[in-house]
Every structure is written in C-alpha cells, then in structure tokens.
Amino acid sequence: MTSIINQIDPARVPAHVAIIMDGNGRWAKSRGLDRCEGHVEGVSTVRKITEIASETGVRYLTLYAFSTENWNRPKEEVDALMHLIVVAIERETPDLIKNNVRLTMIGDFDRMPSSAYERLVRCINDTSHCTGLVLNLALSYSSRWELTRAAREIARDAAAGLIDPAEINDETVAAHLATASMPDPDLLIRTGGDFRVSNFLLWQLAYTELYFTDTYWPDFDKESFCRAIIEYQSRERRFGLTSEQVTT
Ligand code: FPP
C-alpha cells in the first residue's frame, strides 16, 4: 500500500474525482447473499475511499449513491438503501468532522422522504465548517433532471428580463447546475464492469478522464483507488488542443 501511494505524483492529483459505485448487487449474488448485503459492504468501501481520497489530496469526491432511476427498484431495496445511507452518514459524521471532511449533497430532494432529507441536512450542517476534502453525495440525482432544472431557471430569468438570451453561455449554464461551486471532475471512475455514464454529470464530464474497472464496488479498495490515480496521471489531457500545445 505505501509503495503504491508513493507512485502518485502529489503535484498532479486530480482535484475532483467522481465515482459510479456499481456492482454491489452482483457482488452479493456471487456470494449467495441478498443484494442489500452488497450495499452494506459498499458502505465500508465508501469509508475507505473517502479516507484515501483525503490522504492523497483530492479536494472533491463525488459519489453516485442513488440515481433518480433507482427510485424504480423494488420498494424493499429502495427503503433499505435510503435507510442504509442515512444511518451510515449519521454514524460517520463525527469522524468526518474529526478528519475535516465537509459533506455536501446534489440531487432532486423533493423525491426523498422528508425525514431522510432532514437527517442528512443536519449532518451537512454539522460539517459545514470543515475545510478539507468535500465529500459530495449524488442522491436522487440524474444529469437530465439537473440540466432540465437549469434550463427552466434560465428561461424564467430570461422571461423576467433578468438576462439577455443572447448572452447565455457555458458559464450561465454551469452556474445553474447543482455542482456550481465545484470544479468539473478530472477523473471519473466506474466500478462493476460496465462502460457507460448512466445519466451522471453529463455536462461536467466534458473533458474528464474516464477509468473503468471490472472490480465490484465492495471489492474496490484503497490500492484500486491509487491505481486509478496513477493511470490518470499517465494520460495527456489536451482539452481539444494539440499535443504540442499542451506540452510547451
Ligand atoms: C450500484 O450497485 C450501487 C447502488 C445503486 C448504490 C450505491 C450505494 C452505496 C454503496 C451506499 C452508499 C453509502 C453512502 C454512505 C454514500 P447495483 O445495486 O446496481 O449493483 P449491480 O449492478 O451489481 O446490481
């Protein structure tokens, strides 16, 4: 572990890492367990990955914990997942504070049970003074929901004469996204073997480096995270320029 951390160049750590945590259900199934046991194990991984992200100097860690599409899963699984997330966050909040981690949340909270939402907001408030890693949970989140909301807000401002439609640009849109206060992700990690972005941060991923691994989320460990960072550091980010332009 120490040796792999040492292979990371501290000067080029991605400021923002986003993760699609997939494979909990398959991890459980492969062991003859209930899907929810996979989610329970997935929570331990969240703890480990938050620790290593903080240790390596990542500034923002966005985790796709629950998509708007996940509301359509069987009710027992939805209830179990919501309960698990709220209980885990409440349990971890004292440690988040101790480690100077600030909790934030993006998503369509109108669809969340109000008690779950209120409990999470309490944890967010309790960590609001922390200045280290920002742990950003995407909960009841989907990118199309976020972009549609942004379009609605911008249209409303234009109709009210607050902005000139001719002046709407990238920055206007970005300012209306749930991630307005954060830089775009530098690195997206998806566990669980699928190669898609599943309605996650579609606008923000425009120039993000993508990293896919077959490892199921419960098996993804600190070493796996370091390996993803090292792979990221081997990539040349050109942002649409030529290789010569970015190296000179
Ligand atoms: C995908 O696995 C995972 C989820 C839908 C939920 C992820 C949530 C957690 C790991 C808990 C998060 C906890 C905190 C504290 C943020 P899947 O069920 O789609 O797996 P499958 O593709 O193998 O069926």
| Predicted TM-score of the model (pTM) | 0.95
Asked if 133 and 98 touch (Cβ cutoff 8 Å), the reply is: no
Q: Could you identify the atom of ligand 1 that is nearest to the CA of residue 45? A: 10
Q: Name the residue at shortest CA distance from atom 10 of ligand 1.
A: 42
User: Residues 73-119: pLDDT tens digits?
Assistant: 999 999 999 999 999 999 999 999 999 999 999 999 999 999 999 99
Q: Which residues are catalytic, by number? A: 22, 70
**pLDDT above 80: residue 2:** no
State in Å: Cα 194 to ligand 1 middle: 14
* Closest CA to ligand 1's atom 5: 66
Q: Which atom of ligand 1 is nearest to the CA of 139?
A: 16
Say yes or no to pLDDT of 248 above 90. Answer: no
The pLDDT value recorded for residue 132 is 98
Contact between residue 224 and residue 48 where contact means Cβ atoms under 8 Å apart: no
pLDDT for res 141: 98
Residues with CB under 6 A from ligand 1: 21-26, 39, 42-43, 46, 63, 65, 70, 85, 88-89, 137, 192, 217
Whether the predicted pLDDT of 1 surpasses 90: no
Choose the weakest-confidence range: 25-39, 118-132, 229-243: 229-243
Q: For a substitution probing ligand 1, which of 39, 76, 104 has the most ligand atoms within 8 Å of its CB?
A: 39
Phi and psi (nearest 5°) for 187? Answer: -140, 130
The domains located in the chain, with CATH, are: 2-234 (3.40.1180.10)
Cα of 18 to ligand 1 centre, how many Å?
14
How far apart are the CA of 67 and the centre of ligand 1, in A? 10
